[in-house]
Amino acid sequence: MKRHHQILPKVALAAILATPNAGFTDTLRAIAPQEHGAQQQEFVHGSPQVPSKEWTLAAGGRIYDNWWEALDRPEPDGINPAYPVSVNDQQTGSGTWRCKECHGWDYQGAGGIYSQGSHFTGISGIMGMRGAPIEEIMPILRNESHPYTTDMITDDEMLRVAHFVSEGLTDMRAFIDYDTRTVIAGVGDTDRGRAIFQTTCAACHGFDGRAMDWGAGDDHNFVGTEARELPDEVYNKISNAHPGAAMINLRAFSLDDRISVMRYIASLPSGLDD
């Protein structure tokens, strides 16, 4: 890390002196966050020889989030032909190939958080398939609504997604207030969340969650920012990890533990001045 040798402009230096941690996050932002070393390739994109159920569900969840980042495939070129452009002309890029774009971070599609706004499609959620047999789910994932070729997602990989649909979904209405899109006050255990965060997540995100910043310019985006604004997305990252990144996940921990971590990180700083 070149932190100590950097020559900082006077303005930046003043800002750093005025705000604790600013220098730290400023420096880290210069490093492309999704890059990972060759020794992590297997953990990030490969699969274990004897996959546990927990690994399979998290791996399926990462494909649901962003399959090309999860599987190290080329990003699809342009809009998904199955995307309903007549309903929503605001989404035009490769993002329309992500499962979450049509079915939501909360798996409830137009019946959930994507019932309005720039991600609205009118497409239903997938919660109705919870507990369904894999043989019933697999053909759906290759039908005309899902034009994924086996070059994009192989059958083995799609099987992970089917397991995720059958056994990996959670009803987020139990812990997210859908009117305000925030974690419901009183759910989870802050002390338990703090304990897990400080002993696992902090290795990369720092004790105050500000060691990594995926914001642009002055628009800072820390785990704290994300947990306050997009708890449904953060719940997916906690349970499955961030696709393409060398990040751990808490799939093997209880649902209560995952909610507690989410509740705790929503209390961490969301900006540089907090």
Given the rule CB under 6 A, which residues bind ligand HEC?
Answer: 33-34, 64, 80, 82-83, 96-97, 99, 101-103, 123-124, 126, 128-129, 137, 140-141, 145-146, 161, 165, 200-201, 203-205, 212, 214, 223, 226, 233-234, 237-238, 242, 245-248, 250, 261, 265
Residue number with CB closer to ligand HEC (16 or 160): 160
Q: Smallest distance from the beta carbon of 97 to ligand HEC, in angstroms?
A: 6
Comparing CB distances to ligand HEC, the nearer of 6 and 145 is 145
d(CA 103, CA 118): 13
Instruction: Identify the CA nearest to 242 among candidates 35, 69, 72, 95.
Output: 69
CB of 13 to ligand HEC, least distance (A): 25
Quick check: 85 and 106 in contact, CB under 8 A? no
Q: How far is the CB of 243 from ligand HEC (least distance, A)?
A: 9
Closest CB 241 distance from ligand HEC, rounded Å: 7
For residue 125, the minimal CB distance to ligand HEC (Å) is 7
As a residue count, the chain comes to: 274
Q: How far is CA 31 from CA 26, 27, 28, 36, 216, in A?
A: 10, 8, 6, 11, 13
Looking at the DSSP bridge assignments, the partners of residue 176 are 183
Smaller CB separation from ligand HEC, 23 or 95: 95
Q: What residues contact 169, with CB distance under 8 A and at least 6 apart?
A: 107, 126, 127, 130
Q: Which residues of 5-35 are buried (b: 16+ CB within 10 A; e: fewer)?
A: eeeeeeeeeeebeeeeebbbbbbbbeeebee
Query: Which C-beta is closer to ligand HEC: that of 16 or that of 119?
Result: 119
Compare residues 15 and 248 and give the one whose CB is closer to ligand HEC.
Answer: 248
